[in-house]
Structures are given as C-alpha cells and as structure tokens.
Structure 1
C-alpha cells in the first residue's frame, strides 16, 4: 500500500474518531436517579429495578441515595440540579401531596419546582407488629392500645411521611391513641422494630414482607381495597373492622425547566421499561401495581391527591416545622 494512501486513511480515521458521538450513533445521555431514603427501602428497591430496566436507553444509570427529612433533602438536591435531563428523583407521593399541607415552611414548591415525568406504580401500606409486642392481629393491637392510651408506639420512615399519616388515620378510625416515632427511612425503623424499641410499624408492604415471611415480625393488616399479593394471608383493615382504605404511588420527577423533548424522552423510556414483562412481573412480585404514565397523567394525579389530602390532614391537626 502506498504511503500516500496510508496517510490518507489515517487522516480519515482521525477525523472520524474526533466526531462527536451523535454523528456516529444516537447519543445516549447518562441518568442519575436520586432516592431520598437509605438503601434497602421500598423507594430504593423500585429505583434500582427501574435503573436496570433503563440501562439500554442511557449511557449509564446510577442510583444515588440522599436520605433524610422524609425525602426533602433529596428533593432539594434535584431542585438545584441543572435541567438537562441527567438528574431525576424517584419518590413516593407524600412529599408532593402531603408535605405542602403538613409543613409550615418547605424549601420547595411541589408544583412549580419540579417537572413531572412518569407515574411509576401504585402501592399500599401495612401495619406490622414487632416480636416484643406479642400481637397477632389488629384486634389484639387495639385491645392493648386502648388499655394504655399513648403507650403503644409505631415507627415510620419519617415525620410527615405517608406512613406517619397512615398511623394517624388508623388511630382515628380505630379509636386508639398511638405514639409516633420517626426514623430516617424504613430500614432503621425495621431495626428498631426487631430490637423491641417500638411496638409497631406502618410502612409499604415491601419493607417488611421478607421479615414477615421469615417469622421475625408479623404483618397484621394491609391498607388497600384488597389483600396484597406479597402476603395474601394477611387480611385488609376493612376485613378486620377498621373502616380505612388508603393507597399511594411512586413517581419520577426532574427539576423545573426540563425541556419538553427531554422530559418526553425520559418518560417514554420509563414507560417502555415499566411495561416490559420481566420488569413488570418483578414489580408485581414486590407488591407494586405498575403504571408508566405520561407526564400529563402524573401532573393530574398529583393535583388530584394534593386536593384530596388537604381536608384529612387539617382534620388531624398535625403540623410540623
């Protein structure tokens, strides 16, 4: 091969490798999914399952835990992130529909500071009795609670979270006075429950299903309209005479100012991942009802629940600093 041909070929190769990635193939951006709770909890589990389902649509997908303040620390981080589509948050509905009614001051606006991307899944909650409680049913729990008002304690992932208000609502519906003990996530609450430091726990079913099956704790009731497939032997609260049905959702948001085309690209990738049979079945096994919505559908769900929770929260009289 002539020297001139070799030089020309080398120059062409150099020019080709110097081209930006989109000129060679479709650009795949990196994606960071922020979770406001510690590793091992329901939000973390959902985010990691979703990250696995999104890995072919992005250059990389990582999950970053920023626990604390019931998810508010993570929300503040995402609020300040550049609106370039590289940073999103996966969170339960509480911070977006409860916190605006609960906290006197929030360092974010749930409607204007974030871009709705996708409603991921619906889920229900559980009432869990620790080994030290000796309780085997909701009836047992209520007998003990009513015999010593305020002495029965229940843990949650944090003050102002959905499980916190599930406990408040349960107490009101059942006519029992319970004392709330907040933790920084479901994992620490589980540790306290196992150690006998709290009597009960209100949380997503996923958080304690394995411990229940291992006989280390006992899920005594679920809050949905029907039994949870993870623990089908556990009756609903309605079945046990407590007139309470409550569910919630997980969703993905980005910072405000996300361009519509970037928002829609991420939303489409999420919907595709959630509807994939393999991921969908894993989500169902974990007690989630998969959705994978459009941004508009998430915005509507948020607006509806923001209005729905205002009255019940005000009725509890609970307000936090």
Structure 2
C-alpha cells in the first residue's frame, strides 16, 4: 500500500509538471513596436492598447524604435518571427503614403506584413486663421482664384499629411495655394495665429478648441462624415468638393503569420477596442475607435494606396 501511494504521488507530480508548461503557453508575451518617440500619438495609443490587452498575454512590452518616419520599426517587424509575439502599431502614412513618396523602400507594405486590426481613425480640418476673412470653403476658393499662389497654408514640413492635403485640395478645386513648411506643427500653428499664413490643414482635435473660442475657423472636415468634436462643420463632400481623406492607426504583424495566431491577436484587439473604457480614452484624444477585422484593415490600406497615388504623382512630388 505504501509503495502504491508513492507511485500515485509520483505520477501526480509528473502530470502537474507536464501541465505547467502548457498552461504557461496559453498566454504568451507580446512586444508592441512603435516607430516614434515616447509621448507621441502612436506611443500613447500603443500604451493604451497594452493596458487593454493585459489580460490576454503573460506580459506586454512597448518598445520605441523611432526614426525615418516609422521605417526603422517596420524593418524590425519585417525581420521578426511570425509567432504572434511581435506586432507594430503605426499611423497609415508609412503604409499608404511612403510607397508614393519614396522611389525606393526597404519594405513592401502589402507583402511584408500581416494586417491585424484598424484601431482608430481621425480626420483633418481645413482651418482659416485670423489672417483670412474666409467664412466658408467657397470663400477660400474664391480668394485663391482671384490671387493664384498668394494665399498660403502652413505645415509641419514637406511630405506631411497637411502638405499632401493641400496638394489634393488644389487638384480637387483647381486653385493654387502657396505651401509654407515650418519646423514642426507648433511653429505652423504660431504662424497661423500670427497671420503669417492664412490657412492650415490640421487634425481636428488640435484645433477644435481654438475653433470653439473663435480664434480660428474650421471651414470643413476631410473625412467621410462629420466629426463629433465639431458637428456643425460640414465635410468637403457635402460642399460638393470631390475630396475625402482621413488617417488611422493600425496593428500589423510580420508576414506569414499563421491564421490561428492572427485570429487570436485580432480577437484580443477587437475586444479591447470595443470596451467603453478604451473607447472613452480614445474619444478624449480625438480618435474614433474602430477595432476592425484584419480583412477590413487590408481593404482600407489598399483603398488608401490607390487614393493617394494620383494626387502625389500629379504633383510630381517625392521625398527622395
């Protein structure tokens, strides 16, 4: 009896030992790469997502790999093992604009990565400062047509979203504006408020309060629908201008991510984004929570790649 008890106890210990690694493997660690400095919008969103995903992984680390507009982090993701333990959160620029802005990239935005989920979206406003008397988009167009190239808009630099939106506006309305690049968004804002430039294309959340206080006027928004932060402001499409553009943040994994791994990541992300807590935090940042499927992200990426090809090529503009 004593020998039998010892054997049973030993067997039980063996079973427990063999079960422990399997249980530990149920929740793997996750590394979230961010191609920008800590404290920025991409980093803030990544840390919000890390908090929202904390129950799905054994540990989560947000690793900043800033430089080259996110391309350094993309290169690291491209080299990562397709095991679901390394992902990247980034804005859509490197995936839909850079292929048209650079003649040569060291990654293919479609072939080298696995879409997981579109996390959040945001749009831009066409903003008139105190140096402009425009009260509407039609006023802006009329002023620009009467004095071609003399109405200016400020941006944070060549090839930025606001710069490209200005190019698209010119092509969509047949006007000619004067692009004035500055060293960063704060300098462009100061130029707008100081009447050194008349207009600016800016993220709605960055100018909504100034608009409500009457310091600037958001004449229109660029997205497919009105922005909840300024619901009284129409979209460009509502005003008859064939122009639509928005930006988004998404999560990607390396290429060849196994289907079951991709589905597990997608489900965890969607569940996190759909929680009222995370949606509220995103809303405070001026983002609209999405939490899409991987196929919806892939479709959005391809649509935006197509959308930006013509305006950038027509302008004959590149960053090379």
Normalised by the length of structure 1, the TM-score is 0.76
Shift of the alpha carbon at 1:26?
Answer: 5.4
User: CA separation in 1, counterparts of 2:178 and 2:119?
Assistant: 32
Relative to structure 1, the CA distance from residue 144 to residue 295 in structure 2 (aligned partners, 3 Å threshold; closer, same or farther) is closer
Alignment-derived partner of residue 276 in structure 1:
275
Shift of the alpha carbon at 1:169?
Answer: 0.6
Alignment-derived partner of residue 196 in structure 1:
191
User: CA separation in 2, counterparts of 1:21 and 1:209?
Assistant: 53
Shift of the alpha carbon at 1:218?
Answer: 5.3
Q: Structure 1, residues 104-153: CA drift from partner, whole Å, max 9, x if none?
A: 1111111111111112233322234567x466745576637964726724
Aligned length: 307
Alignment-derived partner of residue 115 in structure 1:
114
Alignment-derived partner of residue 154 in structure 1:
154
Name structure 2 gaps, 5 residues minimum. Answer: 1-8
User: CA separation in 1, counterparts of 2:135 and 2:81?
Assistant: 49
User: CA separation in 2, counterparts of 1:305 and 1:258?
Assistant: 23
Give the CA RMSD over aligned residues.
3.8
Relative to structure 1, the CA distance from residue 65 to residue 147 in structure 2 (aligned partners, 3 Å threshold; closer, same or farther) is farther
Secondary structure in structure 2 of the residue aligned to 1:196: helix
**CA contact 2:69–2:94 (8 Å) conserved in 1:** yes
Relative to structure 1, the CA distance from residue 76 to residue 202 in structure 2 (aligned partners, 3 Å threshold; closer, same or farther) is farther
User: CA separation in 1, counterparts of 2:38 and 2:240?
Assistant: 35
**CA contact 1:114–1:256 (8 Å) conserved in 2:** yes
Shift of the alpha carbon at 1:210?
Answer: 5.3
Secondary structure in structure 2 of the residue aligned to 1:108: coil
Shift of the alpha carbon at 1:266?
Answer: 1.1
Shift of the alpha carbon at 1:249?
Answer: 3.1
Relative to structure 1, the CA distance from residue 117 to residue 13 in structure 2 (aligned partners, 3 Å threshold; closer, same or farther) is same
User: CA separation in 2, counterparts of 1:43 and 1:146?
Assistant: 40
Residues 1-321 of structure 1 mapped to structure 2, 5 A cutoff? 22-25=21-24, 27-128=26-127, 133=131, 137=135, 143=143, 147=147, 149=149, 152-156=152-156, 159-174=158-173, 175-179=175-179, 181=181, 188-189=184-185, 191-196=186-191, 199=197, 200-209=199-208, 219-238=218-237, 242-321=241-320
Alignment-derived partner of residue 3 in structure 1:
none
Structure 1 window deviating more from structure 2 (47-56 vs 302-311): it is 302-311
Shift of the alpha carbon at 1:287?
Answer: 4.1
Relative to structure 1, the CA distance from residue 27 to residue 208 in structure 2 (aligned partners, 3 Å threshold; closer, same or farther) is farther
Shift of the alpha carbon at 1:181?
Answer: 2.1
User: CA separation in 2, counterparts of 1:138 and 1:40?
Assistant: 35
Relative to structure 1, the CA distance from residue 296 to residue 235 in structure 2 (aligned partners, 3 Å threshold; closer, same or farther) is closer
Shift of the alpha carbon at 1:163?
Answer: 3.6
